[in-house]
Amino acid sequence: MNLAAVLSSNARVLVADVDPQRSATDWAGAGGDCVPFDFDTAENPQVLANLRNEARPVRGQA
């Protein structure tokens, strides 16, 4: 979550919580409306595949 917050100062960031413990969801919830990046949870494999296919790399990164 800290990395996502730092990266969001220069680029649009999406955090997808795929951990069964949902720890990223808990952290995002603790931030309330102040979370500076997009966030979603997904359990459906098709949704996860779509996220991966739609994600664009940061300029200069593979």
Say if 9 falls within a structural domain: yes
User: Where in the sequence is the domain holding 30, given as residue range(s)?
Assistant: 2-54
List, for residues 9-61, the tens digit of each pLDDT value. 888 777 777 778 878 778 777 766 677 777 666 677 787 777 777 776 666 55
Q: What pTM does this model have?
A: 0.55
User: Buried (b) or exposed (e) across 39-61, using 16+ Cβ within 10 A?
Assistant: beeeeeeeeeeeeeeeeeeeeee
Number of domains in the chain: 1
Say if 20 falls within a structural domain: yes
Amino acid at site 21 = Q
Say if 60 falls within a structural domain: no
Say if 62 falls within a structural domain: no
